[in-house]
């Protein structure tokens, strides 16, 4: 099973100013998160961010925050507890009609096109990322964890999160795997731009 850009959404969890200096391989992780956000833009994939208690930990890195269409400030470790699922699965919209169709009050809402695949990365992998991803799995999203754009303060905690997520049904991928699967072909109009990002 390969990722489909048309079915994907990207969630970037807590790449915050006061947190990142303490994160294992923090510079590399942030660089890969920025690549993911730019790749999502090329592939027309919606991008959402989260920030844990931003009054204490600061906001997400400015460039990354600018690439997110919306950023959810949260106090729960899981962004799902603060409404992330509602952002990722918009409500049904009313069916369009014409003069011969049923009156609006009798029309059934049509589901919005679903993007049920959540590509997710973030910090700390064993806390906010893990809890958000596990609850997205419970909400019946397909969850793909971008391992080289995730970390924790310690390597051991990061790796334990990956083990647990894989066991729960999350797919573990890398930034380049996501890039090449979203574009699928060297004939994709964004292929050259994508190559410039991953090289």
* pLDDT of res. 92: 59
- Report pLDDT for 82: 96
The fold of 5-89+111-198 is: Rossmann fold (3.40.50)
pLDDT at residue 90, rounded to an integer: 73
Return the structure tokens found at 87.
């952002």
What pLDDT is attached to residue 100?
57
Residue 35 has a pLDDT of 97
Model pLDDT for residues 82-118, shown as the tens digit of each residue: 999 999 997 655 555 555 566 665 665 555 558 999 9
| Mean pLDDT of all residues in 30-59 | 97
Phi and psi, residue 31, nearest 5°: -60, -40
Q: What is the pLDDT of residue 199?
A: 83
Encode pLDDT of 127-163 as tens digits. 999 999 999 999 999 999 999 999 999 999 999 999 9
The structural domains of the chain, with segments of one domain joined by +, span 5-89+111-198
Q: Which of 51, 49, 48 is closest to 19 using CA atoms?
A: 51
Predicted confidence at residue 96, as pLDDT, reads 57
In this prediction, residues 1-15 reach a mean pLDDT of 96
Q: Which residues contact 178 (CB under 8 A, 6 or more apart)?
A: 3, 36, 39, 119, 144, 146
Instruction: Identify the pLDDT of residue 103.
Output: 61
Among residues 31, 108, 95, 19, which one has the least CA distance to residue 57?
Answer: 19
Q: What is the pLDDT of residues 46-73, one digit of tens each?
A: 999 999 999 999 999 999 999 999 999 9
pLDDT of residue 19: 96
């Amino acid at each position: 099973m390969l990722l489909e850009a048309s079915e994907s959404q990207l969630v970037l969890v807590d790449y915050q100013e006061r947190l990142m200096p303490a994160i294992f391989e923090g510079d590399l992780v942030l660089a890969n998160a920025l690549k993911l956000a730019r790749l999502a833009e090329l592939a027309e994939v919606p991008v959402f961010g989260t920030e844990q208690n931003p009054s204490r930990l600061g906001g997400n890195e400015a460039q990354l925050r600018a690439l997110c269409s919306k950023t959810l400030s949260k106090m729960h470790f899981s962004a799902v507890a603060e409404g992330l699922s509602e952002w990722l699965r918009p409500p049904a919209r009313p069916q369009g009609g014409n003069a011969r169709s049923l009156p609006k009050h009798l029309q059934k809402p049509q589901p919005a096109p679903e993007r049920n695949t959540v590509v997710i990365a973030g910090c700390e992998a064993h806390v906010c990322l893990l809890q958000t991803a596990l609850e997205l799995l419970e909400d019946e999203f397909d969850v793909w964890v971008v391992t080289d754009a995730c970390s924790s303060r310690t390597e051991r905690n990061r790796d334990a999160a990956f083990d647990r997520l894989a066991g729960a049904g999350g797919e573990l991928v890398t930034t380049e795997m996501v890039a090449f699967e979203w574009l699928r072909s060297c004939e994709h109009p964004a292929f050259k731009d994508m190559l410039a990002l991953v090289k």
